[in-house]
Amino acid sequence: MAKITLSKLRHSYLSTPKSDSDYALKEIDLDWTDGGAYALLGPSGCGKSTLLNIISGLLVPSEGQILFDGKDVTALPPDQRNIAQVFQFPVIYDTMTVYDNLAFPLRNRGRDEATVHERVMAIAEMLEVTEMLEQKAAGLSPDNKQKISMGRGLVREDVNVVMFDEPLTVIDPHLKWKLRSKLKELHQRVKATMIYVTHDQTEALTFADQVVVMQLGEVVQIGTPVELFERPAHTFVGHFIGSPGMNILPCELHQGSSVFAGQSVALEGPVQGAANGRTEIGIRPEFVSLADHGLPAAVTKVSDIGRHTVVECEAGGCRINAITDGAAPEKGSAVRLAFRQDMTRLYVDGWLATSPAADEQGAA
C-alpha cells in the first residue's frame, strides 16, 4: 500500500505533439492518499483510461513522474509496481479452474503452494466464490468472472493500488448494484488504495470518498460527492453530475448582481476577481422552485420520474429545469420560478466565481 503522487504528468499518443490539443492528458498533478477510495469520472475520451494505464505502467507518460511513496516508478513495468487492474471486460484464463486463476499471480512470483493456498482460500471466501473454486473459469457468468479478475488483483497481499476500468459495463443491471456494494465492502476490508474509472456518476458517487472529475485531459474538480453536487467548480461538473444536471443560464453583471432575462437574480455571495468574460448563473434543479413571485417562465415539459417531478420551463430563450415534490403544473402554463439564493452560483468562463456570503462562511 502506498501513497501515489502524479507530478506534472502529460501524455500524448503522438510522437511529436505540437499544440495542447495533441495531448490526451494536459498537466496533471495529483496525490492519492494511502487507502483512499477514489473515482475518476468523466465522459468517454476525457483521458481517464489513459491516466489509469499510466499509473499501472501499461503506458509510459510523455512527460512527468509517478511516485509510489515518494519512489519514482515512472519507468517500471506493471509487474514490478505491485498494482492490480480490473478491466472493462472480465479477463480470466479460460482453461484454468477458478482456483488456478486466483493462484496465477502468486505462482508467477514463485510463492510456495502453502502460501498460495492460504491466500486463495482467504480471497475466495471474501469474494464468496469458495464453492466455485474447482470449476473451469470459462463457464462462469460475467459477474463471477469479474469477481475472479478482481480476486487476482487482491490475492497479492502487498498490492499498492487496485484499479478498476469501468468494471461493471458488461454486468446485468440487477447484479451491478450487488457487485458495487461488494466493492465498497472489499475496500473497507483490505484497506488498499482503490481507483475506480467510470463515466457513470452513480457508480462514482457511491463508490468513492473522493471523486476526480476529468474533461478533455484535465482535472476539473476533486471533491467529495457532496461537494461536487453542491459546489461544482466548473459548469461541466454541474452539468455532468446530477440528473438532470445544473441549469446554466447566460447572464449579465451589473454592479455585483446578475441579470438574467431582464430580471435581477440574487447570488450566494460576492463575485471574486474581475468578472470580464462569459458569465453564467448556475443553479441545480433541486433548488429551483415554483413560486408566486420570481422569474416568469413557460412550462414546456413535465416528466414524472417517480419520487419527484421534473418541470422543464423556458425563460429568456433558455431551458430551466425545476424539481418539485408537489403538484406539477400543466404543460404550457405560465409559472414563476424562485432560485434558492445560497445555492445560486456565478460562473465566469465556466469556472466558479462566487463564494458564500460572509456571515455564512463564519457559521460554517
Grid coordinates standing for 81? 509496481
CB-nearer residue toward another protein: 144 or 279: 144
The verdict on 87 binding another protein (CB under 8 A) reads yes
CA distance 300 to 321: 10
CB-nearer residue toward another protein: 130 or 135: 135
Note whether 147 and 97 are within 8 A (CB): no
Virtual CA dihedral for 69, 191, 103, 198, nearest 10 degrees?
-90
Grid coordinates standing for 49? 483510461
- Of these, 20, 69, 94, 172, which contacts another protein (CB under 8 A)? 94
DSSP 149: H
- Of these, 89, 199, 336, 343, which contacts another protein (CB under 8 A)? 89
Q: Which helix (H) or strand (E) holds 84?
A: strand 83-86
Q: Phi first, then psi: give them for residue 257, nearest 5 degrees.
A: -120, 155
The verdict on 4 binding another protein (CB under 8 A) reads no
Grid coordinates standing for 355? 463564494
The verdict on 157 binding another protein (CB under 8 A) reads no
The verdict on 97 binding another protein (CB under 8 A) reads no
The verdict on 56 binding another protein (CB under 8 A) reads yes
Segment near another protein (CB under 8 A); pick from 36-44, 60-68, 87-95, 244-252: 87-95
Segment near another protein (CB under 8 A); pick from 52-60, 236-244, 315-323, 350-358: 52-60
Q: Would you mind telling me the total number of residues written for the chain in this entry?
A: 364
Distance of CA 69 to the CA centre of its chain: 24
CB-nearer residue toward another protein: 94 or 314: 94
- Of these, 145, 147, 152, 234, which contacts another protein (CB under 8 A)? 152
DSSP, collapsed to helix, strand or coil, labels residue 87 as coil
Smallest gap from residue 148 Cβ to another protein (A): 11
Smallest gap from residue 138 Cβ to another protein (A): 8
- Of these, 50, 85, 198, 215, which contacts another protein (CB under 8 A)? 85
Q: Measured on CA atoms in the order 124, 127, 131, 137, is the torsion positive or negative?
A: negative
User: Residues interacting with another protein, by CB under 8 A?
Assistant: 53, 56, 58, 77-79, 83-85, 87-89, 91, 93-96, 104-105, 108-109, 149, 152-153
